Structure 1
């Protein structure tokens, strides 16, 4: 399995599209809750997803030194109070979680292991959970998520030995949905049991937003976690859709939300990555999308205002950086950052050299989220209109 969340997210959304997940508008249900998950207006935890992984090349692999610098930036410049540490590799996950805790940040630790035997996935959950409990006992603020979208990552729930094969089976309709959901429920219960056995704080899981596709028994968990990629013209429509997740009477965390930096990306409802032709080497952009960092920034701010108005428990913007999708201002055909959800852009020192070193630079989304996170919402707080006016030029 490739160990980058950007690729995994693309594969997930491909599968989601195959079964009509993305952009689904479902009834609001019976939720009578106001959405005030923690007793006051605004988000309790404002965060960003930080992916650890082996990288597609040695140059983009996780680096302890780079991670430490990124954690400082997330705290001091992005003004986030939470890091969602996700990916595979127990050593990478725990080292990053420890650094975040040392810096006084709230840790949302979520191993995302896949394409390995079920026992290995459960063992990885146990190892990470034990470490999360150690941090908690030392006084750190920690939530532990046992994983992400098990139907995609865990072999045996959907036919196929790899993520790609499972996505292909979804596309072709080669899935018995009732059987898939029974297997999913069985493994989710196993993962929750493992998590509970080693971690005694708040336990969660990151589910797809379509409950008809991935029904989760949230009685197993303390916090409802949803990966959210909807698009609506009016903010009230987001509130209507999200309220159904409150009927469990538990805090709601948006474990992922975001979009890409080109005109029309939010309207794809999570399929923004699908402008890359991965069959070509090097990968290249399909069509002629118009780069617009402003579009990405406006969408993130709008969603944050919705989450704040509902008083949700947490929201984690997806994601801090996607190292394997570098920005190419000199060559738009290979500007893979167009298909990245990162709020920063990765730039290689030598664009055509796979082994080149790289650095990141903030996008408009980074600055917009930093302004939002830097000022607590409440009476007299920053509104979306005020955020937009902080930028120059029209929205595109």
Structure 2
């Protein structure tokens, strides 16, 4: 992971990308497990339809953006949600990020478009009281949507040990990651605090929302899943044998509850799947402008193949839901003729931001679909038939 945030994020804590990188760097992304039965392996290798998923979707992040031009915009959001429904053929959108107005407006648009809404507020680096108030306000809105006939679920948050101060020592997520890396934090104390805050968040969620409740955990988090209706896991493993994914995921079924893959994906260069949640770390933010390290080769095919391979695994197991991470990373522009500065290579997004004036941060921009977008679209469309 990056040891130092970029200038654009120093005053705001680190971005969701850094959180993912931090989780992987700390060994919380899960270890490879032995292969399971031959039949499961055969199903995932051949891509034959299994029991299928109930919900197929994508993560849509709302936020302030690193520049005014990349911040959440109502008109752009509405166009994006239309594309999720019409072009990606998803039936579910995971609306995540912070800002009650941004989250609720996006959730309402998704519901209006007939999408199943997975609303997941993730206010970070704020006092615990504010995080819970933010959750409650979003949860009350989700309940209003539900009572008006929308299909909606509420997730109380994501990987609290990273987002929420007071669980791991450190005022910012960057400091908390460093304290875990250096062994400064007491693991038992961290777990007690994590368990306590998760219970508080679940209680807040239950108090304002009568639908299905969940939480998005890192792969090795210890969570009391009796508090929730759906088990949610952010999943970034890499295995050569598809059967190993099956074995690894089966452990999350032991609670007898639906399993949702709340995030899965990879970056856009050869070898990215092997990096898991560390894919973002190939950017050198000490350079101005930031550079891609290591002479990497852009590969949209690598990203697309990983996503569809995992989707085949999830379908073969009949999991409840899977949300690809993520629809768009606006602050990682694609530069087709400048691989050294093609920040989209380090993006998990299934679309690429393209500026009208390449290299100009103030330039207008639009997104274009990557191979992963088209690959998921084909799979999602077939499943809808």
Q: TM-score, normalised by structure 1?
A: 0.89
Instruction: Tell me whether 1:24 sits opposite 2:34 in the alignment.
Output: no
Instruction: Tell me whether 1:169 sits opposite 2:169 in the alignment.
Output: no
Equivalent of 1:366, from 367, 370, 373? 373
Partners of 2:69 and 2:102 lie apart in 1 by 16
Partners of 1:358 and 1:266 lie apart in 2 by 28
Q: Contact 1:18 / 1:170 at 8 angstroms: preserved in 2?
A: no
SS of the equivalent of 2:19 reads helix
Instruction: Tell me whether 1:48 sits opposite 2:66 in the alignment.
Output: no
Equivalent of 2:103, from 83, 93, 99? 93
Equivalent of 2:283, from 254, 261, 276? 276
Partner residue, 2:5: none
Distance 1:223-1:163 versus aligned 2 partners, 3 A rule: same
Instruction: Tell me whether 1:81 sits opposite 2:91 in the alignment.
Output: yes
Per the TM alignment, residue 91 of structure 1 is displaced from its structure 2 partner at its CA by 0.3
Q: TM-score, normalised by structure 2?
A: 0.91
Partner residue, 1:306: 313
Distance 1:78-1:347 versus aligned 2 partners, 3 A rule: same
SS of the equivalent of 1:140 reads coil
Partner residue, 1:36: none
Q: Contact 2:56 / 2:90 at 8 angstroms: preserved in 1?
A: yes
Per the TM alignment, residue 19 of structure 1 is displaced from its structure 2 partner at its CA by 2.5
CA distances 1:369-395 after superposition (whole Å, capped 9, x unpaired): 000000028xxx9xxxxxxxxxxxxxx
Partners of 1:2 and 1:137 lie apart in 2 by 38
Equivalent of 2:122, from 98, 104, 112? 112
Partner residue, 2:334: 327
Q: Contact 1:6 / 1:322 at 8 angstroms: preserved in 2?
A: no
Provide structure 1 residue ranges, at least 5 long, that are not aligned to the other structure: 30-39, 382-396
SS of the equivalent of 2:281 reads coil
Equivalent of 1:236, from 243, 248, 273? 243
Q: RMSD of aligned C-alpha atoms?
A: 2.0
Q: Contact 2:57 / 2:90 at 8 angstroms: preserved in 1?
A: yes
More helix as a share of residues: 2
CA distances 1:235-294 after superposition (whole Å, capped 9, x unpaired): 111010000000000000000000011111011122111110122222111111111100
Q: Contact 1:6 / 1:340 at 8 angstroms: preserved in 2?
A: no
Instruction: Tell me whether 1:182 sits opposite 2:189 in the alignment.
Output: no
Partners of 2:57 and 2:357 lie apart in 1 by 31
Instruction: Tell me whether 1:254 sits opposite 2:261 in the alignment.
Output: yes
SS of the equivalent of 1:269 reads helix
Q: How many residues align?
A: 364
Partners of 1:264 and 1:28 lie apart in 2 by 22
